[in-house]
């Protein structure tokens, strides 16, 4: 794994990945993320002129569906874009400018103004760029929501240019910096969109995608620990690894039951801390981000069938979201204190693997009756939530590919939201709408607890049947959150979706990073919980 960490050492300073070679080494050979991180992106005030158009290889332009007058520089191509009649909302059309550069014009026709629709349109536009290497790409929006449309195209361009890990016969060639990235991205706007945050958010999403896509023999617990440690050093984060021995001393019986079936004793809980310059001596975080990091899930003794187990290397997506969000917050110099807690293990079979009807004891003393060994995510999160709660954060957010029932309920288009603090729902729902990562709030009333009552322990791990398991999972997790702490749980049913989602065209979407950053930086949720 460490051989991935040794290229592209002379990168310019970037607000997300930093300025030293070490950060730029944290890419697999097939990923252009380091090159993208150093791609100059500039905002040019004023209208796009003919000379500027002539200097572009490609122009991505968002056009309102009812546009009547084109910019002067696009007048010559306007008729060709409309040659097939009036465009439909969400349609993308492509033509070439009649200049020596033969600039490729990709026009997306916008109607609805919600962020998800903006991102989806931007994703379709970027796919029309294909695999060609572009020296200069321009971005222009002629819509009333100009800055939002530009930021959506920036996100889509980063997602389109990104490459997931590849280990085929072309691996040696892929180690070289790829030529596909544009030499420069030029944004034409008089309103100065927030490109720093837009780019950091996009690259955070790509980091989560990269980690989630890594094969299980490339990203075992030891390799993940090394990656986390290197990222922590680069971004000035505190880092502590609680190994199995430490967790045994802490009484983390639920986590250790899951990790007992692993062949290697390398599982653990990672704890990372970000403190702004003004709060370096502060111990209690404003927010704690908790992520499920099950690196491969066989189902344990309740073994999954072939199709159910095939993609279970992605069961650590929640930890990737929590980690990438904290890295982005540090890169953006967030003015509040934040922690990340990552529960990192596998769920394997073997002589020591835990069994149905085992009784476990968590860090906070709650005893758990095991019902099904394929409900391991809530067990590793139980101890991780309890440990995070001891630091007295004002807000706890956990991210987990926790249940199949949530995906059955929502498909892969949205993720399930649960909270113990209904007063925070306006901010939580607004973050989903504004980020374009849509969430749906499910009930978690106390009477659901009757389905997970136990005769031999404080609580049953799950119900014997799968009805409402996403709700039961949330009710179970709530027992490990301090009663006076605001908490929200995101069941990541949209972490993986065939064909992609929104502006991301790969099955692995990185869902959750945009939501979390919008929630923490774009809403007043911390102001509410910090009163």
Both 207 and 185 in a single domain? no
Residue 19 lies in a domain: no
Q: What is the pLDDT of residue 80?
A: 87
Sequential DSSP letters for 233-283: HHTT-EEEEEEHHHHHHHT-HHHHHHHTTSSSS--EEEEEEE--GGGTT--
Both 83 and 105 in a single domain? yes
Choose the final residue of a domain: 175, 192, 209. Answer: 192
Three-class HEC string of 25-52: CCCCCCCCHHHHHCCCEEEECCCCCHHH
Residue 29 lies in a domain: no
Domain that holds residue 116: 39-192
| Structural domain count of the chain | 2
Known catalytic residues are 304, 378
Q: Where are the alpha helices (DSSP H) in 300-375?
A: 306-309, 317-331
Percent of the chain with pLDDT over 90: 75
Q: Is the per-residue pLDDT at 180 higher than 70?
A: no
Model confidence at 229, pLDDT cuts 50, 70, 90, reads: very high
Q: Which residue has the higher pLDDT, 373 or 28?
A: 373
Collapsing DSSP states into helix, strand and coil, what is residue 342? strand
Query: What's the mean per-residue pLDDT of the chain?
Result: 89
Q: What is the pLDDT of residue 78?
A: 85
Q: Is the per-residue pLDDT at 459 higher than 90?
A: yes
Model confidence at 13, pLDDT cuts 50, 70, 90, reads: very low
Both 139 and 266 in a single domain? no
- Specify the CATH number for the domain of residue 225: 3.40.630.10
Both 185 and 228 in a single domain? no
Both 208 and 148 in a single domain? no
- Those residues whose C-beta lies under 8 Å from the C-beta of residue 162, and which sit 6 or more positions away, are 31, 32, 33, 36, 206, 209, 210
Both 247 and 169 in a single domain? no
- Burial pattern 189-222, b for ≥16 Cβ within 10 A else e, equals beeebebebbbbbbbbbbbbbbbbbbeeeebbbe
Choose the final residue of a domain: 192, 212, 244. Answer: 192
Both 122 and 47 in a single domain? yes
Model confidence at 166, pLDDT cuts 50, 70, 90, reads: confident
Both 134 and 224 in a single domain? no
Model confidence at 6, pLDDT cuts 50, 70, 90, reads: very low
Q: Is the per-residue pLDDT at 73 higher than 70?
A: yes
pLDDT digits (tens, 9 = 90+) for 509-518: 999 999 999 9
Residue 370 lies in a domain: yes
Strands 104-110 vs 92-96: parallel, antiparallel or unpaired: antiparallel
Give the span between the Cα atoms of 123 and 158, in whole angstroms.
10
Both 295 and 374 in a single domain? yes
Q: What is the pLDDT of residue 30?
A: 45
Measured in Å, how far apart are the chain's first and last C-alpha atoms?
A: 44
Mean pLDDT for 334-343 is 97
Give the span between the Cα atoms of 222 and 200, in whole angstroms.
27
Give the span between the Cα atoms of 223 and 281, in whole angstroms.
30
Q: Which two tokens stand for residue 245?
A: 């021995």
Choose the final residue of a domain: 192, 210, 244. Answer: 192
pLDDT digits (tens, 9 = 90+) for 35-63: 445 456 788 887 888 888 999 999 999 99
Residue 305 lies in a domain: yes
Q: What is the pLDDT of residue 171?
A: 54
Strands 184-188 vs 136-141: parallel, antiparallel or unpaired: parallel
Q: Which two tokens stand for residue 338?
A: 């934040």
Is residue 11 within 8 Å of 19, Cβ to Cβ? yes
Both 266 and 397 in a single domain? yes
Both 118 and 137 in a single domain? yes
Residue found by looking up tokens 């990656």 in the block: 227
Residue 11 lies in a domain: no
Both 184 and 206 in a single domain? no
Task: Give kind and range of the element (H or E) at residue 348.
Answer: none
Residue 525 lies in a domain: yes
Count how many Cα atoms sit within 13 Å of the Cα of residue 167 in the half-sphere of its side chain.
8
Is residue 339 within 8 Å of 272, Cβ to Cβ? yes
- Specify the CATH number for the domain of residue 141: 3.40.220.10
Give the span between the Cα atoms of 433 and 439, in whole angstroms.
8
């Amino acid at each position: 794994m460490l051989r991935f960490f040794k290229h592209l050492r002379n990168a310019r300073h970037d607000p997300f990945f930093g300025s030293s070679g070490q950060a730029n080494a944290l890419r697999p050979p097939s990923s252009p993320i380091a090159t993208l991180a150093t791609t100059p992106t500039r905002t040019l005030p004023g209208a796009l002129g003919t000379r500027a158009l002539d200097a572009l290889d490609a122009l991505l332009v968002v056009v309102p569906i009812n546009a009547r007058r084109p910019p002067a520089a696009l007048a010559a191509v306007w008729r060709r874009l409309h040659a097939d009649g009036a465009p439909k909302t969400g349609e993308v059309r492509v033509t070439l400018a009649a200049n020596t550069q033969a600039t490729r014009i990709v026009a997306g026709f916008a109607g609805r103004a919600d962020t998800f629709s903006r991102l989806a349109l931007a994703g379709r536009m970027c796919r029309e760029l294909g695999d060609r290497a572009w020296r200069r790409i321009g971005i222009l929006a002629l819509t009333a929501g100009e800055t939002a449309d530009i930021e959506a195209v920036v996100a889509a361009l980063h997602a389109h240019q990104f490459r997931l890990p590849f280990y085929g016969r072309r691996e040696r060639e892929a180690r070289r910096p790829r030529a596909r990235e544009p030499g420069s991205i030029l944004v034409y706007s008089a309103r100065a969109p927030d490109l720093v945050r837009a780019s950091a958010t996009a690259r955070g999403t790509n980091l989560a995608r990269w980690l989630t896509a890594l094969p299980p023999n490339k990203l075992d617990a030891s390799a993940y620990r090394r990656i986390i440690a290197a990222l922590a050093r680069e971004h000035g984060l505190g880092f502590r690894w609680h190994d199995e021995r430490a967790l045994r001393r802490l009484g983390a019986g639920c986590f250790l039951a899951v990790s007992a079936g692993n062949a290697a004793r390398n599982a653990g809980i990672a704890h990372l801390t970000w403190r702004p310059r003004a709060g370096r001596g502060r111990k209690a975080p404003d927010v704690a981000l908790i992520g499920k990091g099950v690196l491969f899930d066989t189902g344990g003794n309740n073994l999954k069938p072939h199709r159910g187990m095939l993609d279970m290397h992605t069961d650590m997506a929640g930890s990737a979201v929590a980690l990438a969000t904290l890295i982005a917050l540090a890169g953006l110099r967030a003015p509040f204190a934040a922690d990340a807690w990552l529960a990192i293990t596998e769920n394997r079979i073997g002589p020591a693997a835990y069994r149905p009807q085992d009784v476990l004891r968590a860090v906070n003393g709650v005893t758990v009756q095991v019902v099904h060994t394929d409900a391991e995510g809530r067990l590793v999160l139980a101890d991780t939530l309890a440990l995070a709660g001891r630091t007295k954060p004002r807000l706890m957010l956990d991210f987990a590919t926790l249940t199949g029932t949530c995906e059955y309920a929502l498909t892969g288009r949205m993720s399930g939201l649960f909270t113990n603090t209904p007063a925070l729902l306006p901010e939580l729902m607004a973050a989903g709408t504004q980020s374009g990562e849509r969430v749906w709030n499910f009930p978690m009333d106390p009477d659901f607890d009757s389905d997970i009552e136990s005769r031999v322990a404080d609580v049953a791990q799950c119900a014997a049947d799968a009805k409402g398991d996403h709700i039961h999972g949330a009710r179970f997790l709530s027992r490990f959150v301090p009663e006076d702490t605001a908490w929200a749980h995101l069941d990541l049913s949209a972490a993986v979706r065939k064909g992609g989602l929104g502006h991301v065209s790969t099955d692995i979407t990185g869902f959750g990073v945009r939501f979390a950053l919008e929630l923490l930086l774009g809403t007043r949720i911390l102001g509410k919980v910090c009163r």
